[in-house]
Amino acid sequence: MKGPVVIVIAVVAALVGYFAAGAINKPAEMKAAAPAAKKAEPAKASGGTLAAVKAKGVLSCGVSTGLPGFSAPDKSNKWSGLDVDVCRAVAAAVLGSADKVKFTPLTAKERFTALQSGEIDILSRNTTWTHTRDTSLGLNFAGVSYYDGQGFMVSTKLGVKSAKELSGAAVCIQAGTTTELNLADYFRFNNLKYKSVVFDTSDQSVKGFESGRCDVLTSDQSQLYALRTKLADPTKAVVLPEIISKEPLGPVVRQGDDQWFNIVKWTLNALINAEELGINAGNVASMKSSKNPSVQRVLGTASDMGKKLGLGNDWAANAIGQVGNYSEIFERNVGKGTPLNIARGVNALWSKGGIMYAPPIR
253 and 143 part of one domain: yes
100 and 231 part of one domain: no
223 and 206 part of one domain: yes
Round to whole Å and give the CA distance between 22 and 352. 78
In the structure, what pLDDT confidence band is assigned to residue 90 with cuts at 50, 70 and 90?
Answer: very high
pLDDT at 245 over 80: yes
187 and 134 part of one domain: no
Residue type, 112: F
Q: Which residues contact 309 (CB under 8 A, 6 or more apart)?
A: 259, 262, 263, 266, 315
Last residue in a domain, options 213, 228, 245? 245
CATH number at residue 108: 3.40.190.10
pLDDT at 32 over 80: no
Share of the chain above pLDDT 70, in %: 87
Domain region containing 122: 48-147+249-352
166 and 99 part of one domain: no
Strands 216-220 and 169-174 turn out to be parallel
The answer to whether 192 touches 167, Cβ cutoff 8 Å, is yes
Last residue in a domain, options 245, 266, 285? 245
- pLDDT tens-digit map of 109-131: 999 999 999 999 999 999 999 99
285 and 200 part of one domain: no
The answer to whether 174 touches 205, Cβ cutoff 8 Å, is yes
pLDDT at 20 over 80: no
Q: How many C-alpha atoms does 285 have within 13 Å on its Cβ side? A: 2
> Does residue 24 lie within any of the structural domains?
no
Whole-angstrom CA distances from 5 to 1, 8, 9 are 7, 5, 6
Q: How many domains does the chain have?
A: 2
In the structure, what pLDDT confidence band is assigned to residue 47 with cuts at 50, 70 and 90?
Answer: low
240 and 262 part of one domain: no
Residue 91: Cβ-neighbour burial (10 angstroms; 0-12, 13-18, 19+): buried
